[in-house]
Amino acid sequence: GENPVTCCSVDDSMLRLKIKIAGGTEGSRSTVPAAAQAALESYLDQEKDAGLKYEIVNENSNFLKIKATVWYDPLLVDPSGYAVEDALKTYVSGYEFDGLLNRNNMVEAMRSVAGVRMVRISQLQTKYAGGTFADLGEQKRPECGYWNIQDNDMDISYVRYTKTDIA
């Protein structure tokens, strides 16, 4: 049958193997079914060297929350069209599995929308496994291997761009 594990990363920096797994496809990652995880654990138990410790991470996505201001050209951007929000969702959901997400690349994703002149992220937070949102910092690797952002976690303020000083 079809392999339920479509993404995997292995980190051996903490005296054990940390194996992050996910199913689904790019843009629609998901946890791996319990039976498939059990089969992987059984295989690892049979094949690993004596004393090797491992941890399998098979959790729902890390979630992002963003608050940003977007200065836009009103001839090219309709703020009610959600083009910036759509660009963010596409960027986040298609991000490289277990890759470092950084604030600068998120600005670039928003600036890729035609007519967006400037972007300021005032808040960028993440939460994992039912925790609470906390500051992402400049860049972060997701604890579970992949990211997601919900519509209600994007607070984008649109301001018409003008060629004047902006505080």
Model confidence over 8-28: pLDDT tens digits?
A: 999 987 788 899 999 988 888
Find the mean pLDDT for residues 1-5.
75
Q: What is the signed CA dihedral for 72, 81, 92, 112, rounded to 10 degrees?
A: -40
Predicted local distance difference test score (pLDDT) of residue 27: 80
| CB half-sphere exposure, 139, CA atoms < 13 A | 7
Predicted local distance difference test score (pLDDT) of residue 163: 86
Predicted local distance difference test score (pLDDT) of residue 1: 58
Find the mean pLDDT for residues 137-150.
94
C-alpha pair distances (Å), 83 with each of 18, 79, 80, 88: 37, 8, 8, 9
pLDDT band at 50 (very low <50, low <70, confident <90, very high): confident
Lookup: tokens for 141: 């690797």
Cα–Cα distance, 19 to 57 (Å, whole number): 6
Sign of the alpha-carbon dihedral angle for 96, 99, 103, 105: negative
Lowest model confidence (mean pLDDT) among 2-16, 34-48, 120-134, 139-153: 2-16
Find the mean pLDDT for residues 145-149.
93
- Beta bridge partner(s), residue 8: 21
